[in-house]
């Protein structure tokens, strides 16, 4: 299978796993990215009766306009029953790097608010140690250079993602060559730098299940 076929396979399996648990009161959280888009396509085909969807980005919301699914705000619901999203990297401990699509802050909020976080990926995302993919950090504009200097002190190489404004109105720094020895600790440390809105390490709220698509089929990691 090529990469797109693997992504489609993971998306299909995720819908199979959660389908029987959904009812008219269920709230489904939807992430952002190419693999999640395939999940959305399959969800739209089925028209499952649920309370509605909460999306991590305006781009994902746009795909539900005109469909049978109600688009909800997180403020309108008590919580999210299932949150489905992709990842840029994952390790054996189900810790992730996310944010390639610049939606990391809202993604982390929805993941934290969910009872079940299912991550759908193909095997190209598997790493022994997080950090091969540049770590995205959402920052307030006025603090971008100051935060970059702090990152340089840590040995990372910060690169301003030109031309990108997040749905929250902020900017993105992509950090290369950062040593992510203990993801849980680094996630908290980075978020304590003044001006950092959120970073793309998902270790405090990691995935509950990773639905991994390979040439040999689907693996469920948990």
- Could you confirm whether 107 is annotated as catalytic? yes
Name residues whose C-beta falls within 8 Å of residue 47's C-beta, 6 or more positions apart in sequence: 67, 68, 69
What CA dihedral angle connects 96, 98, 104 and 108, to 10 degrees? -20
* Dist CA 54 CA 69 (whole Å): 10
| Tokens of residue 91, six digits | 């390790």
Cβ atoms within 10 Å of 194's Cβ, excluding its own: 9
C-alpha separations of 105 from 21, 74, 127, 191, 219 in Å:
27, 13, 23, 11, 28
Which of 218, 222, 202, 190 is closest to 130 using CA atoms?
202
Neighbour-count burial of 158, counting CB atoms closer than 10 A to its CB (0-12 exposed, 13-18 middle, 19+ buried): buried
- The alpha helices in 102-219, defined as continuous H runs, are 104-112, 144-153, 183-191
Tally of CB atoms within 10 A around 128 = 7
Catalytic one among 89, 107, 187, 198? 107
Catalytic residues: 107
């Amino acid at each position: 299978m090529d990469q797109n076929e693997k992504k489609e396979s993971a998306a299909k399996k995720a819908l199979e796993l959660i389908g029987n648990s959904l009812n008219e009161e269920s709230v489904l959280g939807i992430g952002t990215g190419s693999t999640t888009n395939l999940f959305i396509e399959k969800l739209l085909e089925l028209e499952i009766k649920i309370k509605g969807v909460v999306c991590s980005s305006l781009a994902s919301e746009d795909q539900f306009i005109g469909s049978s699914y109600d688009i909800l705000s997180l403020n309108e619901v008590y919580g999210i029953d299932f949150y489905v999203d992709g990842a840029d990297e994952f390790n054996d401990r189900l810790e992730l790097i996310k944010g390639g699509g610049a939606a990391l802050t809202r993604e982390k909020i929805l993941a934290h608010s969910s009872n079940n976080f299912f991550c759908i990926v193909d095997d190209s995302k598997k790493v022994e140690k997080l950090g091969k993919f540049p770590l995205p950090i959402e920052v307030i504009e006025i603090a971008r250079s100051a935060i970059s200097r702090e990152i340089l002190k840590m040995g990372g190489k910060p690169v301003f993602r030109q031309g990108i404004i997040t749905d929250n109105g902020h900017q993105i720094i992509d950090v290369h060559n950062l040593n992510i020895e203990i993801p849980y600790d680094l996630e908290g440390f980075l978020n304590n730098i003044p001006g950092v809105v959120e970073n793309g390490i998902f270790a405090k709220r990691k995935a509950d299940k990773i639905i991994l698509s390979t040439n040999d089929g689907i693996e469920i990691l948990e």
